[in-house]
Structure 1
Amino acid sequence: MPEPSLRRGRLEVSGKAAPPLGPPWPAVIKNPCALRAPVRSEHLSPPRCSLRTALAAMAPAGAPSALPLLLALLGALLPEPGDAQVSVFPTEATLPRGGSVLVNCSSTCEEEAFLGLETPLTKEERDRGHNWKVFKLSDVEEDSKPMCFSNCGPNQTLASISITVYRLPEHMELFPLPPWQPVGENLTLKCQVKGGAPRAQLTLVLLRGEEELSRQPAVGEPAEGNATVLAGRGDYGANFTCRAELDLRPQGLGFFQNTSAPRQLRTFVLPMTSPQLETPRILEVGTSEKVVCSMGGLFPASEARVHLALGDHRLNTTVTYNKDSLSATAWVEGTAENEGDHPLVCAIMLGNQSQESWRNLTVYSFPAPNLTLSEQEVSEGTQVEVACEASVGLRVRLSDAPAEPWAPSVQFLLNATAEDNGRHFSCSAALEVAGHLLYKNQTKELWVLYGPRLDESDCLGNWTWPEETNQKLSCQAWGNPVPQLTCLRETDGALLPTGDLRPVKKQYEGTYICKAESPRGAVTRKVFLTVLSECASVRGCAQVGTEILA
């Protein structure tokens, strides 16, 4: 005999109905008593069949009569007609708001029972059979307990299904964070959730990135959760969120999450010390000086702002950021309009805090002394007058002049020589400003024109070296303007090899004519280069010979 089957309603998801249920026994079997499925419930007894029906269904054809034994056995096992029960499947259902579910009501009544489903929900009978019916409940918006009933003769039995409706939260919000949070201070996070059911399975989780900070059951409407964290440097730029978790895995429906929009935290550290301000104490009209304001121990340094100002005038500032420090640079200009004393202020702002430093700056006027040369470019032997004078109220001193005290003006005469070419003369003036003694100089250079020179010290006349040694040959001419120097071998016009010779070759040997030439004249000199094939000592082989040609 085939094993009887149990008919059950199916849960619908997203409003889609399950396939309709067929009759609880095969259509080809004619004996419903023998094949009707027993109801699997601890509260129900197995169904009772009549003796004649049971015998006809269970006794094999041609078997010896065992009717008395079968009657005794069935009489002991089957309940009386008044014990018929009704059952419902499923006994519990969890579905989304607005969803639907199939409910199977069945009875163990031997006779034809009257079955029904009592509920305020929208229902539709979808299938039926002997003592069972399948109903579809639609548009379920809230928790409900529909009741299956069975009228079996004069007796009525009841069985209920518990329907739980779930829904995700309608609104989730993590309350705004402070624009800036000091490192080392506590930060309280607060989350609010509206809606969501069933509440027993709804949990609020506060997170920093993926790290859980707190986990709390959703209580009240709206539900609120909070957590307190100690703000650190690592929290800068961290995203904080609030997540609602609806865990329906025990009901076989899965795990649902809904997360609020993230909020980003900015933490900061601003030391309780003043910035370091590097600035001049005095500034001359018509000049500019660099001002540097720096500070360390900042976090994050790149978020710090700098304000540099001279009096009421804000300076154009360039800020360089390092890992935990900054350096702000600005140029302050002295003008006739701001001559006098002014405060120079540097303020560094980070988060909702600031630190500042200030210095006093004195803007002054100091005209330069006047230095004159009767001629700045002269020929050798020319007499030059050098004069130095200052503005009214100032005194000057002239370098290279005969020693004299500071005076309103100083001058002297100079007979120019070649050694005076490139000579610098300096005229100095002095002024006291804000306790500082200042000097201002003016410098000029004298150019003396003279013809070419090829001295022994600058171009040696005789070079004697062993072959294959490393030597250095130099020959330099002097003059103003600078003369052009060429050194050619007498025999073939080959150039004299100057510079590093590594090594000296026999082919370099010979007599060379060196000529220095400029617009102011020309001079020549013979240079002898001897290369020894074998020589025990360079000093022993050296010979000196110099010939100056007119």
Structure 2
Amino acid sequence: QKRNLGNSRVFICVHASCPIELSPSSVAVRYGDPVSVNCSTTVSHHGIGWEASYGGTGAEEVNQLSWTLENLTEWDISPSCFINPADSEQCMENLKIVVYTFPEKIQISSSNGSNGQMTEGKEYDIICEIPNIAPVQNLTVKWYKGDRIIKSDTFENTTFKHSVNASPRLSFKPSRQDSGARFRCEAQMDLRPVGPHFNVSSKEYNITVFCKYILNYCTYHLLGYSHILKFCLRTPRCASTALKTPNSTRIMGM
């Protein structure tokens, strides 16, 4: 727009937004669920419509038009409502949409199997198995030892839009004081303010810590001969506060 002020010319730039309104302007939809969003306008136009890989419409001379799907089964979808105003060029508004899924159950295990038996001083991976989750970049996994949070994992740097199976790991090297410890993992997905907040916890994973093998040697003299006395100790369970005295077998040898 140009205005004359005496001998001066002043140029004023006016940036008008697209004269359509989406209701709601953003949505979070569970994969496979229905979805419906309304697009409306109050200006004169030569057609309004939706562009989408599924559920798109042609241009219609109405003041409101809905984009509707009975079952949303497309992970990467970007619907847009467009309008052909009577006094300007075509413009559009993109719908902000998040397609999600979240498991009802998650599981916890370790690289040593599911029986929870570990040897002190050896490193293990405790694994949280989270199936069929999306978008994974909204996932937070919290690790508990007893009632205390010892680690949190996030996936903000991932760009997957489809569902994935997430398997975050906790590296752990047990000591004898850890025998009887209880571990669990908790998966959280926060889609607020446009969607829900999910939270699910695994069952507890109890560990039993076994002490390392201990071999003690001593030399004693009997009738002028040297003998070696070897105590072969079986791997015992470690008590939570102190090492229990294991049974031993004596082996005599020259």
TM range (shorter): 0.5 to 0.7
Cα distance in structure 2, aligned partners of 1:176 and 1:189:
4
Q: Is residue 71 of structure 2 the alignment partner of residue 139 of structure 1?
A: yes
Between Structure 1 and Structure 2, which shows a larger proportion of helix residues?
1
Seen in structure 2, the aligned counterparts of structure 1 residues 324 and 114 have a Cα distance that, compared at 3 Å, is same
Q: Is residue 202 of structure 2 the alignment partner of residue 202 of structure 1?
A: no
Cα distance in structure 1, aligned partners of 2:98 and 2:126:
32
* Matched residue, 1:161: 95
* Matched residue, 2:128: 191
Cα distance in structure 1, aligned partners of 2:126 and 2:80:
46
Secondary structure, aligned partner of 1:200 = helix
Q: Is the 8 A contact 2:142 2:187 kept in 1?
A: yes
Q: Is the 8 A contact 1:244 1:258 kept in 2?
A: yes
Q: What does 1:23-42 correspond to in 2, within 5 Å?
A: none
* Matched residue, 1:259: 201
Structure 2 spans left out of the alignment, 5+ residues: 1-13, 217-235
* Matched residue, 1:114: 47
Cα distance in structure 2, aligned partners of 1:133 and 1:230:
60
* Matched residue, 1:248: 191
Structure 1 spans left out of the alignment, 5+ residues: 1-78, 275-296, 302-322, 327-346, 349-354, 360-550
Q: Is residue 249 of structure 2 the alignment partner of residue 356 of structure 1?
A: yes
Q: With a CA cutoff of 8 Å and minimum separation of 6, indicate the structure with the bigger relative contact order.
A: 2
Cα distance in structure 2, aligned partners of 1:84 and 1:255:
32
* Matched residue, 2:150: 213
Q: Is the 8 A contact 2:208 2:237 kept in 1?
A: no
Secondary structure, aligned partner of 2:137 = helix
* Matched residue, 1:19: none
Secondary structure, aligned partner of 1:149 = strand
Secondary structure, aligned partner of 2:27 = strand
* Matched residue, 2:166: 223
Structure exhibiting the larger radius of gyration computed from Cα positions: 1
* TM-score for both structures, normalised by structure 1: 0.32
Deviations 1:155-192 (A, max 9, x none): 43221212111111488443435353233444332334
Q: Is the 8 A contact 1:172 1:259 kept in 2?
A: yes
Cα distance in structure 2, aligned partners of 1:83 and 1:241:
50
Q: What does 1:313-352 correspond to in 2, within 5 Å?
A: 325=244, 348=247
* Matched residue, 1:401: none
Q: CA RMSD in A?
A: 4.1
Cα distance in structure 2, aligned partners of 1:170 and 1:84:
41
Cα distance in structure 1, aligned partners of 2:207 and 2:244:
21
* Matched residue, 1:150: 83
Q: Is the 8 A contact 1:170 1:196 kept in 2?
A: no
Q: Is the 8 A contact 2:46 2:61 kept in 1?
A: no
Q: What does 1:61-460 correspond to in 2, within 5 Å?
A: 85-109=19-43, 111=44, 113-122=46-55, 131-141=63-73, 142-153=75-86, 155-169=89-103, 172-176=106-110, 178=112, 180-218=117-155, 221-249=164-192, 251-269=193-211, 272=214, 299-300=238-239, 325=244, 348=247, 355-357=248-250
Compute the displacement of 1:132 (Å).
2.5
Deviations 1:103-137 (A, max 9, x none): 2212242x36522222233479xxx9972334433
Instruction: Report the count of equivalent residues.
Output: 207
Seen in structure 2, the aligned counterparts of structure 1 residues 91 and 187 have a Cα distance that, compared at 3 Å, is same
Seen in structure 2, the aligned counterparts of structure 1 residues 136 and 239 have a Cα distance that, compared at 3 Å, is same
* Matched residue, 1:68: none
Cα distance in structure 2, aligned partners of 1:211 and 1:103:
43
Amino acid at match of 1:131: N
Cα distance in structure 2, aligned partners of 1:87 and 1:228:
50
Percent identical among aligned pairs is 21
Amino acid at match of 1:120: S
The runs of at least 4 consecutive aligned structure 1 residues that moved more than 6 Å come to none
Q: Is the 8 A contact 1:148 1:158 kept in 2?
A: yes
Compute the displacement of 1:86 (Å).
2.6
* TM-score for both structures, normalised by structure 2: 0.62
